[in-house]
Structure 1
Amino acid sequence: MAKTQVEYAVEGIVTRQMIEIGKKEGIDPQWVQKRVSEGRIVVPLNINRPCSVVGIGMGLTTKINASIGTSTDIADIDAEVEKAIAAEEAGADTLMELSVGGDLNKIRKEVLAAVSLPVGNVPLYQAFCEAKQKYGDPNKLDQEMLFDLIERQCEDGMSFMAIHCGINLYTIERLEKQGYRYGGLVSKGGASMVAWMKKN
């Protein structure tokens, strides 16, 4: 199995990606390697899909992440591909593909093929869509479905993912005891995860 940038960095190895980030940022690649090894810089990549090299994190320039994605009302693959290309041409550093309507596998593959940016997503969106299609209820999602989906998305070439793992039953209990919350749960994926956790 191929090593990750973190694994190389922990071993003290400066990769060509770290050298490229150093050149782009005007900093010593050794410094990049040290920060990657500490988890202070990330380099979103995927061995299954070449993409532009971007360093994100401590001491680096601020990056622009563009978000695209279909809805259950409008699922136009061509429009999403056009938006992805427009985001890259406008200077986005990374892209989030957040579709929830239409053929999600096809949309993802076409967007990945259209741009050279690192592309990320929220696996829970598709997982809940698939659970709803299969069982009639997104909260019937089982863990293996989610893990299988994440593997498929990685095989397709996703460079990074938003995984809603920062909440547990204890934090849900505290939020409920707290009562009113300004803004409530503002993350769609996080709110869906909380609903799933409470039901299961």
Structure 2
Amino acid sequence: MMYTTQMDAAKKGIITEEMKIVARKENMPEEVLREKISRGVVAIPANRNHKILSPEGVGEGLKTKINVNLGISKDCCDIDEEMKKVQLSIDMKAEAVMDLSSFGKTEEFRKRLISDSTAMIGTVPIYDALGFYDKELQDITSKELIDVVEKHAKDGVDFVTIHAGLNTATANVFKRNKRITHIVSRGGSLLYAWMELNHKENPFYEHFDEILEICQKYDLTLSLGDACRPGCINDATDACQIHELMVLGELTLRAWEKNVQVIIEGPGHMAINEIEANVLLAKKLCHGAPFYILGPLVTDIAPGYDHITSAIGGALAASAGADFLCYVTPAEHLRLPNVDDVREGIIACKIAAHAGDIGKKIPGSRDWDNEMSTARQALNWKRMFELAIDPEKAIRYRKESMPENADSCTMCGKMCSARTMNKIMQGKDLNILRDDS
């Protein structure tokens, strides 16, 4: 039996090879996974032209996935340097890499990314439009914007961010409701500017059916972008953010009717007490579609440390039901991240995702922690390093300050609680002050 997309196959009762791989990774029965994909609550972004992809599932009941943003810009256009970040991301087991390149002819980088990456690849086609056509934004036509989407799909991109929810009605809500940071989404601001300069409807909204046809052709997953995501905690959960979310919910149903998989993108910056409500609202208004969230950053005062503000929000969001976390690096708001920034961002995001999995009770999510706790109590340093989320850093810290007694660390020495309890529980002498071990 033939099928066009993963969702089409799922609705027809077909278990694809991608579904089999994801089911094994998630330790989930294939039929359970197929049923979730058929309802749209799980997506497997897998463009049929991405030949070396190792498929991943995003959505209900699955482990929280993480995405790494990178790409060339006018000030930093070294493709080889970006490819180092790509390889690092794959080595560190990030499930997705998103190419946010915004300068020049980006096709070379995008094609290298797709040919070399086993992780799923995302893009934001409107970033590429100015360089692709070598035109000012106002002069690019609706058709040309849609054509860039098809170009990315044909190249093998697994999911694309399309800001289709910023229609004229949403724009008018934005105009009537003052914000501190206006529209901070790069793609959203470009689209809003295009609409204002040309006095026209958002072409991604107006021609949404054409985009769905492209998605069917290549099995391209739509990541419905949040153009009106808040850029500071003051702007969170306001009228234009919620209006856009309602539009995205309507577009989700239209996509599912055409068997196109959908991921919903979410905020940005948000006070810590609003996170759970926002996740629940997005899931409700968008019919349980997988939820992809940037952070959220829980405070605006920490440039240089936004991988931390993001991880706090990401852990809470994942615990409340968010399915996909976009990493934030220490360089957020300051510059393009370097390789070390990318590493720090990935580690922080992986911690947040894992903490979220524990919170939403993903089967087996506590096993890793229990193994680490067992190794800690046994003072089994080798095993602790093997289990560490960043073994290199853990080993370096240990070597930088070696204790007199190998079964302790330089924080507590022979007063180590684990050492004390191990000896007492085994009926041994404690000998804290004596030189013998």
CA contact (8 A) 1:129 1:138 kept: no
**1:183 maps to 2:181:** yes
2:378 alignment partner in structure 1: none
Please give the per-residue CA displacement for 1:42-65, whole angstroms capped at 9, x wherever unaligned: 111111122111000111100011
**1:35 maps to 2:36:** yes
**Normalized against structure 2, the TM-score is what?**
0.43
| Residue 141 to residue 106, structure 1, CA distance change in 2 (3 Å) | same
How many residue pairs end up in the alignment? 196
Which of these residues, 114, 118, 121, is aligned with residue 119 of structure 1?
A: 121
- Separation in 2 of the partners of 1:118 and 1:20? 14
Displacement of 1:139: 2.0
> Matched residues, percent identical?
33
Stretches of 4+ aligned residues off by more than 4 angstroms: none
Describe how 1:146-165 pairs up with structure 2 within 5 A. Answer: 146-165=145-164
Describe how 1:1-200 pairs up with structure 2 within 5 A. Answer: 3-50=4-51, 51-131=53-133, 133-134=134-135, 137-178=136-177, 180-200=178-198
CA contact (8 A) 1:56 1:62 kept: yes
Opposite residue 76 of structure 1, the aligned amino acid is D
Displacement of 1:182: 4.4
CA contact (8 A) 1:72 1:102 kept: yes
CA contact (8 A) 1:81 1:114 kept: no
- Separation in 2 of the partners of 1:173 and 1:160? 29
- Separation in 2 of the partners of 1:20 and 1:41? 14
- Separation in 1 of the partners of 2:94 and 2:62? 15
Opposite residue 141 of structure 1, the aligned amino acid is I
**Normalized against structure 1, the TM-score is what?**
0.92
CA contact (8 A) 1:69 1:97 kept: yes
CA contact (8 A) 1:70 1:76 kept: yes
CA contact (8 A) 1:68 1:96 kept: yes
- Separation in 2 of the partners of 1:149 and 1:171? 24
Structure 2 segments unaligned to the other structure (5+ residues): 199-437
| Residue 191 to residue 41, structure 1, CA distance change in 2 (3 Å) | same
CA contact (8 A) 1:128 1:139 kept: no
CA contact (8 A) 1:68 1:95 kept: yes
Aligned CA-pair RMSD: 1.5
- Separation in 2 of the partners of 1:173 and 1:128? 26
CA contact (8 A) 2:104 2:132 kept: no
Please give the per-residue CA displacement for 1:11-61, whole angstroms capped at 9, x wherever unaligned: 122222112211111111111111111111111111112211100011110
- Separation in 1 of the partners of 2:180 and 2:26? 38
* Paired residue secondary structure (1:162): strand
Opposite residue 63 of structure 2, the aligned amino acid is T
More displaced 10-residue stretch of structure 1: 7-16 or 55-64: 7-16
Displacement of 1:183: 3.3
- Separation in 2 of the partners of 1:154 and 1:13? 24
- Separation in 1 of the partners of 2:78 and 2:94? 21
CA contact (8 A) 1:9 1:33 kept: yes
- Separation in 2 of the partners of 1:111 and 1:103? 14
CA contact (8 A) 2:123 2:157 kept: yes
- Separation in 2 of the partners of 1:159 and 1:2? 17
Opposite residue 127 of structure 2, the aligned amino acid is Y
Q: Which has the larger radius of gyration?
A: 2
